Amino acid sequence: MGILTFVSILLGVYFYWTPGLASLFSLTIPVIVIASLSNRTERHTITWLSCVFCLVESMVTAGSNFSTDTFILPLASVFIYHVISYLASEPNLSFRLRKYSENTLPQLNHETNGRHPRNHLKIATHSESILADPNTSGHLLDYPLLLQKLQDIISQVTHELNLEELLPTLETTAKDALDARQCHLFLWDAESWNFCRHHHAGKTVPLPSSRQGMSAWVLTHRQILIKQRIEREPDLANQVYGELEDYDATVPLIAHEEMIGILFIRGGDVTSLNYLRMLHIISNMFALAVKNAQLFYHIEQMARKDGLTGLLNHVTFLQELDLLIADAIKHDYPLTLFMGDIDFFKKFNDTYGHQVGDQVLKEVAGIWKDLAPTDALLGRYGGEEFICALPHTHIQEAFQVAENIRRRIESTPVRFKQKNLQVTISAGVAELHKPASNSHELIYLADEFLYSAKNAGRNQVVIGSGVTHLH
């Protein structure tokens, strides 16, 4: 593996390949060989070593062009190698389907769960839902077809880390892989104990219930539920009747024992063993894909936002402000900006400690969030300074927003050890083109008016409508 990685680095640097690409392909061979010959522990070890080597090659190949994009292929390798390892180990299972009995699918579940103990995923169905003739070719696993569909799934889902774009891609991919008429994916929010739905082609899709019906049963039992079982078990039919009963399969997406969401499927040949196996594959792959996208989004938000207040950080705010100003100039609409600074903030840290200072910052930021318009761009500019850009807003309207924030902060003391700590802010407001023409000049003017408010006695808002030039 080390030799392959070294050769991959040379190839990647010499031919200017995408960082990580050479290792991704070259290390596939040892992953397949080890997975087919070894036990589960060795397979997982070689898989993760391959992912690490892929990351090393990616970083070396990227060189000075190293960026967050460099991690895309190494992250994808984790996903791809696990799938390859899973498929390469398939010879350990029986390739020929025995005649189905009540225990056939539970046995298949036991074998599968032995390799994936964290998912606890089973197919909940009965033998009557499958034609039981073992001599029928339709009841042999068609591995070439499964591999072809798996390749299609990988090509669709491994490169997409944007959650809003990934979810409709997963629905389309599942629909094609299962030859289904319709697929709907709903994410699960454990905190609210409810489902949430992404925007889906402008169509309104009702959310499934978390307390009754098929979705509630799947949430409780963490199993794939096939419609044929509902039709053949009166007790089960009574449990799930009345909600989404026209779906043919309900598939939980579970990653590392965490419920990610549920995929509802209409159509497809549910009597086919290939269909049932593909449900397993889709469940595992989709859960990992969604989880990776959620982690990527979380990391991206951590990089964009201030950890204490939840507002945009200094760098991100300036980037977004430049885009906002460019759009305002292009479409000729007003844009104003105001900056606020907590008065005598240093005394909170010096007198009561930095934890109280942090509490003051969080409560002030919360008021800014509550009172700013929904289209406002909010940020923590630095220290105790906050900043807000208001598109489609003239300076008098912006002054009123700033004044409302100032009054709310003044009337909302911070509680500390049975004491009410008085907090006030001073603010300055400036408008684009009067005379500022870019973000640097606009912030400079707002900052000047902010310090004018400080010099005039603090706890007030100063606007710059009378300014005709920049110093």
Residues involved in catalysis = 384
Residues of the chain by 3-state class (helix, strand, coil), percent to 5? 55, 15, 30
Nearest to 185 by CA among 257, 276, 265: 265
Q: How many other CB atoms sit within 10 Å of the CB of residue 80?
A: 20
What value, to the nearest 5°, has the Cα angle with vertex 69 and ends 66 and 73? 105
Structure tokens at 7: 């050769």
Nearest to 157 by CA among 12, 4, 290, 321: 290
Residue 19 class from Cβ within 10 Å (0-12 exposed, 13-18 middle, 19+ buried)? buried
Going from the C-alpha of 207 to that of each of 182, 210, 217, 252, 262, the distances in angstroms are 15, 9, 15, 15, 11
**CA max distance for the chain:** 92
Q: 105 - beta bridge partners?
A: none
**DSSP state for residue 140 in the 8-state scheme:** B
Q: 414 - beta bridge partners?
A: 421
Distance of CA 298 to the CA centre of its chain: 7
**DSSP state for residue 98 in the 8-state scheme:** P
Dihedral angle of Cα 106, 111, 113, 116, to the nearest 10 degrees: -160
